[in-house]
Structure 1
Amino acid sequence: MKEESKQEKSEGGSLRKSPFNLFMNQLQRKKSSEKDGKSQSSLVSRLFKSSKPSPPKTDLQKESSELETTDSQPDKEMETETGTETKIETNSEKPTTSETESQSLDAETDLESNTAKIEQFLQKLGKKPNSRSIDLNNCGLTSTDAAELGALLPLLPELEELDLSWNDFIGGALKPVTLQIHHVSKLKILRLSNCRLTTDDVLALGEAVKTTPDLEELNLSWNTNVGGNLSHILQGIQEGSKVQILKLMDCDLTAEDAVSVGQVLPQMQNLEVFDLSINRNIGCSLTSIVQGLKNTPGLKVLKLQTCGLAQDSIQILGDAFGHLPELRTLDLSGNKEVGGGFKDSAVHLAHLKHLQVLDLHQCSLSEEDVASLTQVIPLLSSLRELDLSANKKVGSSSENLLSRLRFLPELATLAINGCALGREAFTALAEASMYLPALKILDLSWNKYVGGNLNLLLETLKLSATLQVLRLRSCSLVAEDMALLASVIQTGHLTKLQQLDLSYNDSISDEGWATLSQNVPLLKELTELDISLRPANFRECGLWFGHLLNGLTKLPMLSELGIQRWRIPAPQVEDLEHFNRNHKRNLHFDYGGF
């Protein structure tokens, strides 16, 4: 009996502990836990100098109240406390407070060392540390840098953006980076354009893409070895992909690559920007791509510039337009064989109700194409940018098309340079342009008829209060045109003008240049002015050049002055060279070439 009593006394020792002792034990454990938590939090917060809020302090009054409530309960509550206390004793082998502090100090030292490594690496490249974004675009990276970056990636688990574009010396040395990308599983943006990727780089990248489920943008443009190997990269894109932007410009893609693209597009339901420009061999496999495009209803930008499209390509693409209700930008420029393809297929463009940008420059449009576009373009009421440049046959048949531009009230950019505009076409344009209140950019370059007939645009120049860019390059302008332009400037109708291109107009006399130079200083928002001569011509500057130099002080925004092939007297060359220093400006004078 005595032994049993002694045993009961030993086992029940914990029961006889006072409520105060229990309370102090609980409080000590909680403080120790909080201390460890705070230590870890402070370590993380030091990385990239970002801080996180500390856990709230313990409310002692609340703890006391809870303890009083427990103490007033019968033995059932005491049994609960007993179980807790016994558990604590059982786990007595956990690290002591001093051991935990030692571990925290070691972790702190490691983090500080890692932070120093990251900062040192980025600082030598002229970049500031950022835990979410590393932009090393055009930094002259070497294979050694690539290896060092790969070693640092495991220390950047929060990284969302990695841009290594325009570093052509890391081609063939990308593997150390791709092998570590799985450590940055939150990566959303990966840009590797113009890195001279090798076939091995592309294969390694394909494996890396599989480990980035949150990837939203992938840019591999200007890497020719992507061509023929694209399937290895696309296999990393799975069903439900989050990719929104895919750019593969000038990658030397093959017809087989085009088929691979068509097969993966149905898995890219979130795709918004798709750029396959300057891949001349994919036109023959356009059908595969179009079938895939039918499964990307949210696509907003489609660029197929210089992709080897043919006449029948417009009909093939037209089948997809009805499935792309959100398309905002369509670029088919540079496809010279497409001429004649709009004759019976331009009607498909009418499906693109929200189209804002249509680029058809250098498409060898025929008169039949223009006639068909005349019926469709007025229906694209949301159009903001239209480029019909370098379609030389447009000038003789575009009077109807250009007159229809008045139905595009939101048109802000109109480029019809190099279209051989005749009198009827230019007159139709001048009349229609008066109904374009949002016009900001007007490019009429390389249309000789404009010279001597700029007066037809007088009302447009007066009404275009928003005009910011006026390009009249190589338009055979004469002194009378300069007088007209000067009068418009004097009356304050071009106050928003930022860029004025009058280059390659060698037919303008010294009197014409003098008239312009005296009025240019009134364009207070002008940033660029180009009055260069043609490459084959050289000419002495007249007295007007002195007026232009004097007026530069009145153009606070001017940053670029093109005056190539003008023979400038030595004293005025010296004035140009000292202008920036004397007036604390950063104005670039482009007067080389002689």
Structure 2
Amino acid sequence: MSRKSWSVEILLLLLGLCQSISNANGFKQSAEDSNIRCIEKERHTLLQLRQSLVDDSGRLSSWGSKDCCLWKGVECSNRTNHVIMLDLGNHLSFDDGFDAYDSNQLRGKINPSLFQLQDLRYLDLSGNDFRGGSFPNINGSSLSKLRYLNLQSSGLSSAILYQFGNLSKLQFLDLSSNPYRVSYLYWVQNLSSLRFLNLSFSYLNDAKDWPQLLKLPYLEDLKLTSCSLPKIVSPPVLSLTNSTSSSPISIDLSHNNLTSSMYPLFFNITSKIVDLNLEDNLLEGSIPDFFRNMVSLEHLDLSHNKLGEEIPEFLGNICTLKTLDLSVNYFSRFVPGLSGCIQNSLEILTLFMNPFHDSSILSHVTRFSSLRELDLMYNNLNGSFPSSFRRPSKLTSLNLAGNQLTGSLPDLSKLSSLEYLDISYNRFNGTVTESLGSLSELKQLYASWNSLEGVISEAHFVNLSKLQTLDLSYNLLLFNVSKKWIPPFQLSYISLSFCNLGPHFPKWVQTQKEFHDLDISGAGISGSIPDWFWDLPPYLSSLNLSYNHLTGMLPDLSLRIKAVTGIDLSSNMFEGPLPIFSYNVTSLILSKNRFSGSVSPLCNITAGVLSILDLSDNLLSGELPDCFFHWKDLIVLNLANNNFSGGIPETVGSLLSLETINLHNNSFSGDLPSSLKNCSKLKFLDLSENTFSGRVPAWIGESLSSLIFLSLQANEFNGRIPAKLCLLANLRILDLSQNSLSGKIPLCLHNLTAMIQNGDSYGIIEYFYLASMQNNSFRVGTYVERAWVEWKGNKYQYEKSLGFFRIIDLAGNKLVGEIPDVITRLSELVVLNLSGNSLMGFIPENIGQLKQLQSLDLSNNQLSGQIPDSMSDLNFLSYLNLSYNNLSGKIPMGTQIQTIGASAFVGNQALCGPPIARQCPKMLHDQQPDGHNNKEDIDEFGKWLYAGMGIGFLMAFWGVCGTLLLKPSWRHAYFLLLDKWKDSLYVTFILWGARLEKKFKSLKIQSSWKAQ
């Protein structure tokens, strides 16, 4: 064969092969096209819908292929191929994280082309963000076959909400968690096929026709939680309520502040109600009698109301009841309320926060053969565990926290099904029985804040392989386990605060790889932290090693702790520079250690979730870095007792959530930044013992109206005290002492009304903050504020009782003028210190109005005059210093004043009387209120008075009589005058007697005539 013919043959063969491949591909493509179910018109409609939506997360990425029936969220009918279901709901839960939930949301608007899907039966757009847009206008034929509509949390407007009344075949309607404001609900009555309706978290406060929703003939589930429902003034007439259907009905009207006038709503449906939730309303009195007719009731929630007295007996006769929640009410008697057939049906009983006292209630609940969960938390139960708890039980959850139960723990082996046990905040004592180790199903154990004591050994945990939570904190327990002990459990929450785990770091913690909260504070652990400890679980959310004796330097923690975490390493002996922490730390408490150097490593914390930063009582130095603007959620900034210098950065003004700034005892200088006025939530501002200078800014009073504590003590402020500080109506402690302030004390101090009103006597100034976050489960921590306070001449640091004080301290300045009388209106003032100034004038006369005053220091001024008598009315006064003034007169006698030492009055040369040795002159004794001394003064005065009267009488007598004896002519004239006076008086008496006699005779004749 020639080469040419061979080539031609090869070419023909290749052409044939290509043709075969082409035919095969065409056949395959034809076969694929024949399998496409999507109707092209509906495919085009869905693409139009997609164009109107913003899909940041790519949820609709599959919306492009030819077969729309295979797109995510789309389902077609197997019979007609029409699109019958469109599920675009954002079904991520908040447990997946806020960021994940938000980024998965669809945005934009709903395209009216949606209505071309006329076979649509199921539509879910929930969990998206349409940002106040409206649902397209529904005409008569639009979505006429729709059975299911879910628009929960979609951000839609209520502008044309009434149009949903045209969806006559709708059976499921969820419009909850949208900002709807609805005045009428008449349109819902057109949905005669509706079985499920959820309008929860809408604004229905004007929708007075809401009771008509119960007339829907096939309704099975109605949810109106937190709708601000208007109260029912007169009982509604609902005679046809639910008359068509015999199906059971569930009703949720919780969180609406409804009153007992709502009860008639249920009169015609009592026998059909299986689930009734009336939580958090304004129901009062006893549970009404008609509840006995709820013969199908399975779940009843009447919690958070004002119901009370005893639990009615008829509840015990509802034999179907499985869940009963009467928590946060006023029930005080348990028996005979729940003693019928309910003992065989009830599975969950919640009586949290009621005024039950008798612990015998525990004996009664052991009779409930089906009971799985019992919650008696925060009642007033006293006594001990009853012996009936030794019986076998099906309990899986037992919560007795916050009572006053005493005695030792019982044998727990009979509670073999127990998964949750909380006995914290009681008064249990004695040892922990090893029967705890037999609870093989136990997952969560809380026993903190009791008086349990003794040894915890491996035997206590031998069978607790399912244990996840262990909280034995604040007891007197000693852990005695082997260094080689490998626990049978993997804990997620460990709290052993102030249990004795030391002195060595507990080795068994190394075996725990899944914990997200670890608190072993105050556990007697000393020495350095082993390297293996820092191989922490990646989802650690809370770490507390405070109040131990840990030493050494900390490693770089930025890569070791990745979750949103709260860290407390305070009150140890850590040293060296601050480590680099994770960018998303929520709280960082490193106080009372030996850290040194700069704080610039903290600039790595950039996530904006830091809420507490406490670096106080360390050796840190240098200027503050300008990175505050990262910490938008910061509540507490405590840098006290370090060596910081320079000024406060202007960026501190960006911390709009800030409530505490404590820079006490550093070397900060310069003026206060004006940006600080933006921190309007500040309650605690302590800038004491620094070198700040300039004038005290008036904007403190104008912009920081929430201040409770203000201390600028021991700085270099000058000028007048601004009157604007009087605008701080919430201020309890004002300390401007040890500066160079001049001028007069403001006359407006009586506007500091927190020092007048006795409404808030709570002693602790504390803040609640985000301590940790795990899968969006938040754990709240508390931060208690502490400060140094001048008290009775000495300085003390207060914490728990700081809020009780009402203090004004202006000592050690250059103030002049008089003490304003208005200061005596501050009736709750406890400490007043004006010493070391140049004040003149008198002590206010009404100083005795300060009835709560315990410490008064006016020493080293130029005060004059007497000490007011009203000072003796200060019955709580235990410290007084008036030394080195120009006071004079006698010291008032009083219950407290004479118990104070003489040193309180030295330097006043004209003072006299107890308690000083100088005696007062007698002329001052009339000022004494003392009874004995006053009697002596009166006797002395009487003697001199009578002596003076005698001398006066003798002088007058001999002045007249002596003259008459020595001069005859005067004596003759004197007796002649007496004769004339005698004759004149005689004639006058004769005439007066004759007239009187004549008048008596006339009256006698008139009386006789009247008698006739």
TM-score range, shorter chain: 0.5 to 0.7
Matched, 1:573 2:615: no
- Amino acid corresponding to residue 462 of structure 2 in structure 1: R
The structure-2 alpha-carbon separation of the partners of 1:433 and 1:148, relative to structure 1 and needing over 3 Å to count, comes to farther
Give yes or no for contact 1:367–1:397 (8 Å, CA) kept in 2: no
Give yes or no for contact 2:177–2:200 (8 Å, CA) kept in 1: no
> Residue 383 of structure 1: CA displacement?
2.1
SS at match of 2:367: helix
From 346, 352, 360, the equivalent of 1:312 is 360
> Residue 242 of structure 1: CA displacement?
5.5
- Amino acid corresponding to residue 409 of structure 1 in structure 2: S
Matched, 1:519 2:519: no
The structure-2 alpha-carbon separation of the partners of 1:319 and 1:151, relative to structure 1 and needing over 3 Å to count, comes to closer
Any unmatched runs of 5+ in structure 1?
Answer: 1-41, 54-103, 554-558, 580-587
Give yes or no for contact 2:328–2:351 (8 Å, CA) kept in 1: yes
- Amino acid corresponding to residue 246 of structure 1 in structure 2: L
Partner of 2:409: 369
C-alpha RMSD of the superposition: 5.2
Partner of 2:390: 347
The structure-2 alpha-carbon separation of the partners of 1:476 and 1:218, relative to structure 1 and needing over 3 Å to count, comes to same
From 256, 264, 289, the equivalent of 1:231 is 289
Partner of 1:199: 260
Matched, 1:441 2:493: yes
The structure-2 alpha-carbon separation of the partners of 1:337 and 1:531, relative to structure 1 and needing over 3 Å to count, comes to same
Matched, 1:411 2:467: yes
Give yes or no for contact 1:358–1:385 (8 Å, CA) kept in 2: no
From 373, 383, 386, the equivalent of 1:329 is 373
From 544, 556, 569, the equivalent of 1:502 is 544
The structure-2 alpha-carbon separation of the partners of 1:122 and 1:246, relative to structure 1 and needing over 3 Å to count, comes to closer
Give yes or no for contact 1:305–1:331 (8 Å, CA) kept in 2: yes
- Amino acid corresponding to residue 224 of structure 2 in structure 1: L
The structure-2 alpha-carbon separation of the partners of 1:188 and 1:374, relative to structure 1 and needing over 3 Å to count, comes to farther
Residue by residue over 1:127-148, the C-alpha shift from the partner in whole angstroms, topping out at 9 and shown as x without a partner, is: 9x99654444444541x13x25
> Residue 125 of structure 1: CA displacement?
1.7
Looking at structure 2, the residues matched to 121 and 177 of structure 1 have their Cα atoms a distance apart, in angstroms, of 27
Looking at structure 2, the residues matched to 589 and 365 of structure 1 have their Cα atoms a distance apart, in angstroms, of 45
Trace 1:294-309 onto structure 2 (pairs within 5 A): 294-296=343-345, 299-307=346-354, 308-309=356-357
Looking at structure 2, the residues matched to 561 and 208 of structure 1 have their Cα atoms a distance apart, in angstroms, of 55
> Residue 574 of structure 1: CA displacement?
1.0
> Residue 347 of structure 1: CA displacement?
0.9
From 476, 498, 507, the equivalent of 1:421 is 476
Give yes or no for contact 1:333–1:361 (8 Å, CA) kept in 2: yes
Looking at structure 1, the residues matched to 624 and 549 of structure 2 have their Cα atoms a distance apart, in angstroms, of 20
Looking at structure 2, the residues matched to 121 and 346 of structure 1 have their Cα atoms a distance apart, in angstroms, of 44
- Amino acid corresponding to residue 314 of structure 1 in structure 2: L
SS at match of 1:448: coil
- Identity, in percent, stands at 17
The structure-2 alpha-carbon separation of the partners of 1:490 and 1:360, relative to structure 1 and needing over 3 Å to count, comes to same
SS at match of 2:513: coil
> Residue 338 of structure 1: CA displacement?
3.4
Partner of 2:307: 253
Partner of 2:508: 459
The structure-2 alpha-carbon separation of the partners of 1:254 and 1:551, relative to structure 1 and needing over 3 Å to count, comes to closer
Give yes or no for contact 1:562–1:589 (8 Å, CA) kept in 2: no
Looking at structure 2, the residues matched to 114 and 205 of structure 1 have their Cα atoms a distance apart, in angstroms, of 23
Partner of 1:383: 442
Looking at structure 2, the residues matched to 256 and 578 of structure 1 have their Cα atoms a distance apart, in angstroms, of 47
Give yes or no for contact 1:563–1:590 (8 Å, CA) kept in 2: no
Looking at structure 2, the residues matched to 304 and 277 of structure 1 have their Cα atoms a distance apart, in angstroms, of 4
Looking at structure 2, the residues matched to 177 and 542 of structure 1 have their Cα atoms a distance apart, in angstroms, of 76
Residue by residue over 1:346-376, the C-alpha shift from the partner in whole angstroms, topping out at 9 and shown as x without a partner, is: 313x322xx4333232333434335677365
Matched, 1:550 2:588: no
> Residue 431 of structure 1: CA displacement?
8.5
Give yes or no for contact 1:405–1:432 (8 Å, CA) kept in 2: no
Partner of 1:93: none
Looking at structure 2, the residues matched to 500 and 267 of structure 1 have their Cα atoms a distance apart, in angstroms, of 44
Partner of 2:270: 210
TM-score, length of structure 1 as denominator length: 0.58
The structure-2 alpha-carbon separation of the partners of 1:152 and 1:359, relative to structure 1 and needing over 3 Å to count, comes to closer
SS at match of 1:522: coil
Looking at structure 2, the residues matched to 248 and 181 of structure 1 have their Cα atoms a distance apart, in angstroms, of 23
Looking at structure 2, the residues matched to 237 and 315 of structure 1 have their Cα atoms a distance apart, in angstroms, of 28
Looking at structure 1, the residues matched to 196 and 383 of structure 2 have their Cα atoms a distance apart, in angstroms, of 45
Partner of 2:673: none
The structure-2 alpha-carbon separation of the partners of 1:140 and 1:253, relative to structure 1 and needing over 3 Å to count, comes to same
- Amino acid corresponding to residue 347 of structure 1 in structure 2: R
Looking at structure 1, the residues matched to 278 and 445 of structure 2 have their Cα atoms a distance apart, in angstroms, of 28
Any unmatched runs of 5+ in structure 2?
Answer: 1-83, 85-113, 123-139, 145-161, 183-187, 413-431, 572-588, 617-622, 635-654, 662-1012
Give yes or no for contact 1:223–1:251 (8 Å, CA) kept in 2: yes
Give yes or no for contact 1:310–1:337 (8 Å, CA) kept in 2: yes
Looking at structure 1, the residues matched to 459 and 221 of structure 2 have their Cα atoms a distance apart, in angstroms, of 47
SS at match of 1:114: helix
SS at match of 1:577: coil
Looking at structure 2, the residues matched to 345 and 484 of structure 1 have their Cα atoms a distance apart, in angstroms, of 47
Partner of 1:470: 518
- Amino acid corresponding to residue 328 of structure 2 in structure 1: I
Looking at structure 1, the residues matched to 631 and 229 of structure 2 have their Cα atoms a distance apart, in angstroms, of 38
From 317, 320, 324, the equivalent of 1:274 is 324
- Amino acid corresponding to residue 443 of structure 1 in structure 2: S
Give yes or no for contact 1:166–1:195 (8 Å, CA) kept in 2: yes
> Residue 448 of structure 1: CA displacement?
2.9
The structure-2 alpha-carbon separation of the partners of 1:286 and 1:376, relative to structure 1 and needing over 3 Å to count, comes to farther
The structure-2 alpha-carbon separation of the partners of 1:421 and 1:165, relative to structure 1 and needing over 3 Å to count, comes to farther
Give yes or no for contact 2:279–2:303 (8 Å, CA) kept in 1: yes
Looking at structure 2, the residues matched to 549 and 184 of structure 1 have their Cα atoms a distance apart, in angstroms, of 68
Greater C-alpha Rg: 2
- Amino acid corresponding to residue 383 of structure 1 in structure 2: L
SS at match of 1:316: helix
Looking at structure 2, the residues matched to 227 and 141 of structure 1 have their Cα atoms a distance apart, in angstroms, of 27
TM-score, length of structure 2 as denominator length: 0.37
The structure-2 alpha-carbon separation of the partners of 1:242 and 1:412, relative to structure 1 and needing over 3 Å to count, comes to same
The structure-2 alpha-carbon separation of the partners of 1:312 and 1:187, relative to structure 1 and needing over 3 Å to count, comes to closer
Give yes or no for contact 1:566–1:591 (8 Å, CA) kept in 2: no
Looking at structure 2, the residues matched to 529 and 235 of structure 1 have their Cα atoms a distance apart, in angstroms, of 51
Partner of 1:114: 165
Partner of 2:738: none
Structure with greater proportional strand content: 2
The structure-2 alpha-carbon separation of the partners of 1:383 and 1:175, relative to structure 1 and needing over 3 Å to count, comes to farther
SS at match of 1:341: coil
Partner of 1:484: 529
The structure-2 alpha-carbon separation of the partners of 1:379 and 1:388, relative to structure 1 and needing over 3 Å to count, comes to same
> Residue 490 of structure 1: CA displacement?
3.2
